[in-house]
Structure 1
Amino acid sequence: MSSVPDGNRFAPPTAHVADMVSADSVELGGRGARLVAAFLDGLLIGALAWGLMLATPMWKMMTTGHISMVTAFLMQTVGGLVLFTAVQGFFLATRGQTIGKMLLGLRIVRSDGERASLGRLIGLRYAIGSVIGVIPFIGVFYVLVDCLLIFRESHQCLHDNIADTIVVKA
């Protein structure tokens, strides 16, 4: 049985809940810096993905109709996540940064200031948004809401809320 405070079995349970890091104790990453970092990351992954697609039979299969566009789209989504993890995974796991965030002096941490695990970053912060983003109609709405939420005082986007992360200056 759980502990009973002061012997009163009708008292509400007690638990210590760690507070989130306040905006005063850390310097949040700026909106502009986050945008540029995301653009640089997208440019890097996009260029690598385009090069791989042209260097493999994928491009020919897509342009000649050997595979459906839905299949190609799904392969590109999964392939993009795998490529993103291969390129950015080491830096995310060891530093909490993507290459773009490193260049702009930003890093990703949990909302309590602790280091975020690679599983949390890839699985919750990036993969969920990528999968939702490709769903017709819903994906467009998700991406729009995700982007617009950065204008809150906390500077957290929807993917930050899902993963319980914040972006701070490194």
Structure 2
Amino acid sequence: MSYNPFEVPQNLDDRAGEAEAGGEAGQVLADRWERFAGAFVDGILMSGISLASQFASGMFSKLSTGTALTVGDQLLQSSIGVLSFLLVHGYLLINHGQTVGKWLMGTRIVDAKTAALLPFTRVYIVRYMWLTPLALVVPFVPPGATIILGSLVGFINLLDSLLIFGKDRRCLHDYLAGSIVVRARRGK
């Protein structure tokens, strides 16, 4: 059989090998589709909240009249985003290692070495907020640099997502936080 560079690799079938996670015996890595579906649910949920807050705070009316957003406007929206994320996902993240999407998909975030729940600083600040400071700087740099910095943020996000196709199914944010996503056991 000849080599076909466009053929889907056989090892992408997540259920064929049921990869076991490090640490606690019996932990099975979540497959890529479970992770994607959980992230998709979380994205839709947080986008809806973001749109509602932008409408309620008058951002849409400012933008529709061509009024530039102030630093205060941007900081307000960032603060609302952080607080919304914590209100929606905080309890589940701290107590179960899950967001709403992960809870619906039956997956959870654990330490890659011990399979224990991550402390708040690692699960929230390192795993979820790691790119936020760079993204917040983009509007405040000179116009030429905005394009470069914005592209860099986009490239890092793309790289983060593409790493899921590695053997251990970890994204860049998983490596930074020392985490893995596993199938949640019922009752835990």
TM-score, normalised on structure 2?
0.71
Distance 1:126 1:93, change over 3 A: same
Aligned to 1:166: 180
Structure 1: state its 5+ residue gaps: 1-19
SS class of match (1:154): coil
Q: Deviations over 1:99-145 (max 9, x none)?
A: 00000000000112111012211100011133445641110110111
Aligned to 1:151: 165
Structure having the higher Rg: 1
2:143 is aligned with 1:141: no
Structure 1 residue identity aligned to 2:127 = R
Shift of 1:22: 5.7
SS class of match (1:109): strand
Structure 1 residue identity aligned to 2:117 = R
Please give the alpha-carbon distance, in whole angstroms, between the structure 1 residues aligned to 2:167 and 2:63: 44
Please give the alpha-carbon distance, in whole angstroms, between the structure 2 residues aligned to 1:93 and 1:24: 22
Q: What do you get for the CA RMSD once the two structures are aligned?
A: 2.4
Tell me if structure 2 keeps the 8 A contact 1:106–1:167. Answer: yes
Distance 1:71 1:65, change over 3 A: farther
| Residue correspondence of structure 1 range 11-160 to structure 2 within 5 A | 21=22, 25-68=26-69, 72=73, 75-112=76-113, 113-133=115-135, 135-160=149-174
Q: Deviations over 1:57-113 (max 9, x none)?
A: 232233334443776555434432221112111110111100000000000001121
Please give the alpha-carbon distance, in whole angstroms, between the structure 1 residues aligned to 2:171 and 2:135: 14
Distance 1:93 1:80, change over 3 A: same
Moved more, 160-169 or 132-141: 132-141
Please give the alpha-carbon distance, in whole angstroms, between the structure 1 residues aligned to 2:159 and 2:72: 27
Structure 2: state its 5+ residue gaps: 1-20, 137-148
Please give the alpha-carbon distance, in whole angstroms, between the structure 2 residues aligned to 1:91 and 1:33: 17
Please give the alpha-carbon distance, in whole angstroms, between the structure 2 residues aligned to 1:23 and 1:123: 24
Aligned-residue sequence identity (percent) comes to: 32
SS class of match (1:153): coil
Distance 1:132 1:34, change over 3 A: farther
